[in-house]
Amino acid sequence: MIIAVDGPAASGKGTLALRLARHYGLSHLDTGLIYRAVALRVLKAGERPGDEAAAVKAARNLDLDGLDSEELRSSAAGEAASIVAAMPAVRRAVLRLQREFAKRDGGAVLDGRDIGTVVCPDADIKLFVTASPEERARRRHEELRASGGDVSYDEVLAEINARDERDRARAVAPLKPAGDAHLLDTSDLDIEAAFRAAVAIIERHN
Ligand code: CDP
């Protein structure tokens, strides 16, 4: 079984995807980490994330090892990731990696922005996870504070809105639900409730 979980920044899709993977005994890939890794390589090479040649070079020989590094989770990496992710050549360079992961024995859960639309259009189940921008900013702000950051709620909200706008407006693989995706609004759901709602959708449709 392949489960595609898409949604905007801090919608809870990553946590949900991980829980679903554990529940069904499937492998899990957070595809945002791939774009974050590309962006970080560009930054570390002293180049700008907007430099397409540098971004494509960083994307070409990437593999899935090392995607658990803590530095990938910073706001700076997320922001730079959404810049390199808007480049069609970067997306092409990391597509096969994701499709091969999805074909693993028994299946997989992948989360991102374009899993249901581009990476796995034939996924058995597609979930599109949303929450209001304010709720998403509240969650991300709490997360950042818990890990010692001192960024304000307003800054986090502005960053989330800017990133969503860039992800939705881009010409290639924009953030949008697949026609056959099930929408899951988690604004009023905690992690456990969102997980239960997702399992109910999966049991109903699979
Ligand atoms: O965890 P969060 O939602 O903050 O971000 P992420 O999932 O790690 O993704 C970081 C950035 O990578 C996003 O803003 C997207 O621009 C890009 N991305 C993408 O274009 N396609 C994907 N399948 C996953 C992420």
**Of all residues in the chain, what percent carry a pLDDT higher than 90?**
85
The tokens of 90 are what? Answer: 């970067």
pTM listed for this prediction: 0.93
Query: Can you give the pLDDT at residue 30?
Result: 97
Q: What value does the mean pLDDT of the chain take?
A: 94
Q: For 31-63, how does the pLDDT look when each residue is reduced to its tens digit (9 = 90+)?
A: 999 999 999 999 999 999 999 999 999 999 898
- pLDDT for the residue numbered 61: 83
Residues with CB under 6 A from ligand 1: 9-10, 14, 31-32, 35-36, 78, 81-82, 85, 112-114, 163, 167
**Rounded-to-integer distance, Cα 32 and Cα 204, Å:** 28
Q: Is the pLDDT of residue 15 over 90?
A: yes
Residue whose C-alpha is closest to residue 24's, from 192, 186, 205, 199: 199
Dihedral of the alpha carbons of 9, 14, 15, 21, in degrees to the nearest 10: 160
From the alpha carbon of 72, which atom of ligand 1 is closest? 8
Instruction: Give 19-24's long-range contacts (Cβ < 8 A, gap of 24+).
Output: 19/191, 19/195, 19/198, 20/109, 20/195, 20/198, 20/199, 20/202, 21/108, 21/109, 23/195, 23/199, 24/107, 24/109
Mean pLDDT confidence for 86-104: 96
The residue to mutate among 15, 92, 113, having the most atoms of ligand 1 within 8 angstroms of its beta carbon, is 113
3-state SS string for 148-187 = CCCCCHHHHHHHHHHHHHHHHHCCCCCCCCCCCCEEEECC
Compute the average pLDDT of residues 13-26: 97
